[in-house]
C-alpha cells in the first residue's frame, strides 16, 4: 500500500503593524527624504512635543538608529523640516513678486501664500506652530520679515515714483504682509471661500480701503 505524503501548507505572512510601511532598500538621499516627509506629516499632526523618534521610525519602516544616523535626534530632524519649508515659502513668494503695479503686487503676494498653504498644508502647519528649537532660517516671524523686506523694496520704488514718502515703505510692507499671513492662517482651517476669492478680498481691503470696498472684487492677474 502506497502512502501519500501531505504537502505542507505555506505559513501565512505576518501581519504588518498598522501604520508601518514595508522596508524598502533606498539610497541614503532617498531615505533622508523619506524620513523628512514622514516627520513633516507627524509634526503637522501632533506638534513637536507630541512626536517621537520611535513614531517617525515606525512610520518610515526603519529602526530608531537610522533616524539618529541621519539627523542626530528629534531636534535635528525638526530643524531640517522647518528650514526646508521656510526656504520653499520664501522662494515661492519672492519669485511671485514680479509685477510693476502695486495692485498686481498685492495679488501676487496673496495668491503665492494661499497657493503654498493649499499645496503644502503640512508644511505650513509646522511653520505656524511655536518652534521649540532654533532653525538655521529662524522662525516664522523672521520669515515674514524677510518677505516684508522684499515687498518694502518694491513699495519704496512705487512711493518715490508717485510722490509719497519712501520712508513709510517699511510700515506699509509689514502691514500688508502681516494681513496676508494672518488671513492665511485663518484660511488654513476655514478653507472657505475659495482661495482666489480670499485673495481678491485681501486686495480689495488693501487697495480700496474700508470706505471704498468693492461688493464683488475680482483678481486682475492670472
> In this predicted model, what pLDDT tens digit does every residue of 28-51 receive, in sequence order?
899 999 999 999 999 999 999 999
Question: For residue 142, what pLDDT is reported?
Answer: 85
Give, in order, the Cα–Cα distances in Å from 133 to each of 29, 130, 146, 198.
24, 9, 20, 32
Closest Cα to residue 78, out of 127, 117, 34? 127
> In this predicted model, what pLDDT tens digit does every residue of 55-72 receive, in sequence order?
999 999 999 999 999 999
Closest Cα to residue 123, out of 44, 45, 35? 44
195 within domain boundaries? yes
pLDDT of residue 11 exceeding 90: no
Closest Cα to residue 202, out of 217, 189, 185, 212? 217
What range does the domain containing 184 cover? 82-211
Calpha distance 209→220 (Å, rounded)? 17
Calpha distance 109→111 (Å, rounded)? 6
CATH number, domain containing residue 123 = 1.10.357.10
73 within domain boundaries? no
- The count of structural domains within the chain is 1
Contact 60, 35 (CB under 8 A): yes
Calpha distance 159→166 (Å, rounded)? 5
137 within domain boundaries? yes
pLDDT of residue 141 exceeding 60: yes
pLDDT of residue 14 exceeding 50: no
Grid cell digits, residue 22: 514595508
174 within domain boundaries? yes
pLDDT of residue 85 exceeding 70: yes
Cβ-in-10-Å burial (0-12, 13-18, 19+) of 118 comes to: middle
98 within domain boundaries? yes
Return the residue matching grid coordinates 530608531. 64
Buried b / exposed e along 123-141 (16+ C-beta atoms within 10 A): bbbbbeeebeeebebeebe
The CA-based dihedral angle spanning residues 208, 211, 217, 220, taken in that order and rounded to the nearest 10 degrees:
-10
159 within domain boundaries? yes
pLDDT of residue 202 exceeding 70: yes
66 within domain boundaries? no
pTM of the model: 0.77
Confidence of residue 117 (pLDDT cuts 50, 70, 90): very high
Q: What mean pLDDT is reported for the chain? A: 85
Question: For residue 118, what pLDDT is reported?
Answer: 93
61 within domain boundaries? no
Amino acid at each position: 500500500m502506497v502512502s501519500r505524503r501531505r504537502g505542507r501548507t505555506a505559513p501565512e505572512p505576518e501581519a504588518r503593524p498598522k501604520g508601518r510601511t514595508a522596508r524598502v532598500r533606498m539610497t541614503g538621499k532617498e531615505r533622508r527624504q523619506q524620513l523628512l516627509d514622514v516627520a513633516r506629516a507627524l509634526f503637522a499632526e501632533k506638534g513637536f512635543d507630541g512626536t517621537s523618534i520611535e513614531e517617525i521610525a515606525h512610520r518610515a519602516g526603519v529602526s530608531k538608529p537610522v533616524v539618529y544616523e541621519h539627523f542626530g535626534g528629534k531636534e535635528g530632524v525638526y530643524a531640517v523640516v522647518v528650514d526646508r519649508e521656510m526656504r520653499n515659502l520664501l522662494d515661492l513668494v519672492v519669485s511671485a513678486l514680479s509685477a510693476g503695479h502695486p495692485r498686481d503686487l498685492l495679488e501676487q503676494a496673496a495668491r503665492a501664500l494661499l497657493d503654498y498653504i493649499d499645496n503644502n498644508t503640512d508644511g505650513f502647519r509646522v511653520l505656524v506652530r511655536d518652534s521649540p528649537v532654533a532653525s538655521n532660517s529662524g522662525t516664522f516671524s523672521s520669515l515674514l520679515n524677510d518677505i516684508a523686506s522684499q515687498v518694502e523694496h518694491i513699495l519704496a520704488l512705487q512711493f518715490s515714483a508717485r510722490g509719497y514718502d519712501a520712508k513709510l515703505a517699511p510700515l506699509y510692507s509689514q502691514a500688508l504682509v502681516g494681513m496676508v499671513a494672518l488671513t492665511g492662517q485663518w484660511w488654513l482651517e476655514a478653507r472657505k471661500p475659495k482661495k482666489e476669492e480670499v485673495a481678491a478680498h485681501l486686495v480689495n481691503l488693501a487697495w480700496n480701503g474700508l470706505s471704498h470696498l468693492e461688493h464683488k472684487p475680482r483678481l486682475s492677474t492670472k
